Amino acid sequence: MEVKEALLKRRSTRKYSDKEISDEQIDELLHAAMSGPSACNKKPWEFYVIKNKETLKSLQKATPFSKINAPLAIIVVGNLNHSLPLWLKDFWVQDCSAATENILLRATDLGLGSLWCGIYPQKNPVKIIQQILGLNERMIPLNIIYIGYKDEENEPRDQYDKKYVHFIN
């Protein structure tokens, strides 16, 4: 699949079949994630791969938007011990967001559906996910990415709108 095709085909999927995701596919997703850019190459990301059904059910309680039945979730976590210092510390959000988008695009390329469910900066969902995963306060869950075989089909789309583009010559 060409990059442009993946960009247009990538859509938020909320309905999944029960078919499991293979370990090889998970490996592909994580390789894609870690191919993303990182400020000063700090790589402040960690990835929690959840296949356990009880843990997946626990995640559904994190936010009203995380009530998704998918066979796999990857939680992207910012490890502040690996972030930039001082006023640059919040670049972990950009690094982990780039990794997230790479996962979404690779999932599309593999014929899988995915959904980015934001957690940070919501305080209560962050605490819930930290408790579920046993994370300390320096490990901040940015999002839950639900992944699976689609049980719904969304048409590819181009959302380009030139009113949001400003050329300065």
* Measured CA distances, 93 to 87, 96, 125, 134, 143 (Å): 13, 5, 16, 20, 10
For 142-168, the pLDDT digits (tens) are 999 999 999 998 899 999 999 999 999
Residues 6+ apart with CB under 8 A from 53: none
d(CA 156, CA 123): 34
d(CA 125, CA 64): 10
For 15-71, the pLDDT digits (tens) are 999 999 999 999 999 999 999 999 999 999 999 999 999 999 999 989 888 999 999
pLDDT at 64: 87
Pair 36, 109: CB distance under 8 Å = no
* Measured CA distances, 69 to 16, 18, 140 (Å): 7, 9, 23
Q: What is the pTM of this model?
A: 0.96
Q: Which residue has the tokens 């994630």?
A: 33
